[in-house]
Structure 1
Amino acid sequence: MPRPRSLTSDQPASAALAVIDRDGLAGLSMRAVAQELGMSTMGLYRYVHDREELERLVVELVLGAVDTEPPDPDASWRERIEAMARRLRDAVSAHPAVVPLTITHRHRSLGVLRWSEAVLTVLTEAGVEGERRVIALRGLISYVIGAIQLEDLGPLSGSGTAAITELPSGEFPLMSETARHARNVGADQEFLGGLAMLLDGLGGLDSLDA
């Protein structure tokens, strides 16, 4: 394939994301991305220094799509936080193989920084400050990213859950019983239920919504 005369700033990132979506994170390399673009590997080095830069470009492409506009100001703080969590989940879960990169490069991503700023604004308006705000933000990020990883590994009703239901009830009574209930829990129910429990942990903020 002929090599393009020049690349736009988004083309290497889009090509790298296509490689990851198709071949997984292990398939990402300068050579693979160059082939995706129809150019030589050395030609790609004119635009991208190394794989680490490719990773950062991919993270920015994915997370840059997250809507960071402030949620409805008339909604409760919980509803606004839920809206922000849903937005992050929707953007990242569309490309689950990218999740490890979001963890590695989140501090350099403008998308993550803008999302975090929006979340911090809601938390601050709700009265969460200082160390509590640090823990709240990190807890939310950890929860959303972790939930996406678990969803990518398979639904709760998958083969792993089925195997757990067959564990000896005498040795694992609660695990086997919980796995049976898990068959009826959908991905959205699990995500939103877990998020609600996390927000419950912030406690005492509902009175500030009045």
Structure 2
Amino acid sequence: MPRPRSLTPDQLASAALAVIDRDGLIGLSMRAVAKELGMSTMGIYRYVRDREELEQLVVELVLNAVDAEPPASGAPWRERIEIMARRLRDAVGAHPAVVPLTLVHRHRSAGAMRWSETVLALLTEAGVEGERRVVALRALLAYVVGAIQQEHLGPLSGEGTVAITELPAAEFPYMTETARCARNVSADREFFDGLALVLRGLDV
């Protein structure tokens, strides 16, 4: 008789997420998660078929934390979409090493579908429909996910900015000047000013 299951999907995903938060994606393995849970590596396979299924559970756990309820209807549509972008940034930014997994598994995530459904409804209210709405949603997702990656996984602030300012100014005049200006741009300002540029392009 098979042993009864004792772990919920969320418990398994939480253990995997703890490994990722501590050791990065490179540290994620069935053995590492089993150790986190205090069980044998083979025991993990009673719950998931392989690492891919484990990754899906992690993405679902992170994206389920995103509040997908429509923001208050009294605000302009751009402000309401900004709220949705902030919610996604906050939830995923709390576990930045998971960002690459969200790109791979978002289409199977109910949390991602709920967020997208709300954003699509807001775009529709604003008069963005049909193929233009397709492009609008994908542009917003590309911006938000890309901005999270840049902020957490490959930031140009700190040492990166300093290195660019030290490039030969005669060869890279605009890069060096822009890097000097970047020292005064916070992560929040970069994210929301960039988002405003994208949303202005959707004006109807």
TM norm. shorter chain > 0.5: yes
- 2:138 is paired with a residue whose SS is helix
Q: Which residue of 2 aligns with 1:146?
A: 146
Flag structure 2 segments of 5+ consecutive residues without an equivalent: none
Q: Which amino acid aligns with 1:86?
A: R
Give matches, 1:1-210, under 5 Å: 6-153=6-153, 155-203=155-203, 205=204
Question: CA-atom RMSD, angstroms?
Answer: 1.3
- Structure 1 runs (4+) deviating above 6 angstroms are none
Distance, in Å, in 1 between the alignment partners of 2:94 and 2:6 is 28
Q: Which amino acid aligns with 2:45?
A: Y
Distance, in Å, in 2 between the alignment partners of 1:122 and 1:157 is 33
Distance, in Å, in 2 between the alignment partners of 1:151 and 1:68 is 23
**1:43-63 superposed Cα distances (whole Å, 9 cap, x missing partner):** 111111110010000000000
Flag structure 1 segments of 5+ consecutive residues without an equivalent: 206-210
Q: Which amino acid aligns with 1:11?
A: Q
CA contact (8 A) 1:24 1:97 kept: yes
Distance, in Å, in 1 between the alignment partners of 2:23 and 2:124 is 41
Query: Scaled by the length of structure 1, what TM-score is found?
Result: 0.93
Distance, in Å, in 2 between the alignment partners of 1:5 and 1:93 is 32
In the TM superposition, what is the alpha-carbon distance from 1:14 to its structure 2 partner?
0.4
Distance, in Å, in 2 between the alignment partners of 1:154 and 1:103 is 16
Q: Percent identity over the alignment?
A: 77
CA contact (8 A) 1:156 1:187 kept: no
- 1:10 is paired with a residue whose SS is helix
Comparing 112-121 with 149-158, which one deviates more in the overlay? 149-158
Distance, in Å, in 2 between the alignment partners of 1:186 and 1:169 is 24
Q: How many residues align?
A: 201
CA contact (8 A) 2:17 2:58 kept: yes
CA contact (8 A) 1:156 1:186 kept: no
Distance, in Å, in 2 between the alignment partners of 1:151 and 1:9 is 29
**1:118-153 superposed Cα distances (whole Å, 9 cap, x missing partner):** 000000000001111011100111111111111113
Query: Scaled by the length of structure 2, what TM-score is found?
Result: 0.95
CA contact (8 A) 1:19 1:33 kept: yes
- 1:81 is paired with a residue whose SS is helix
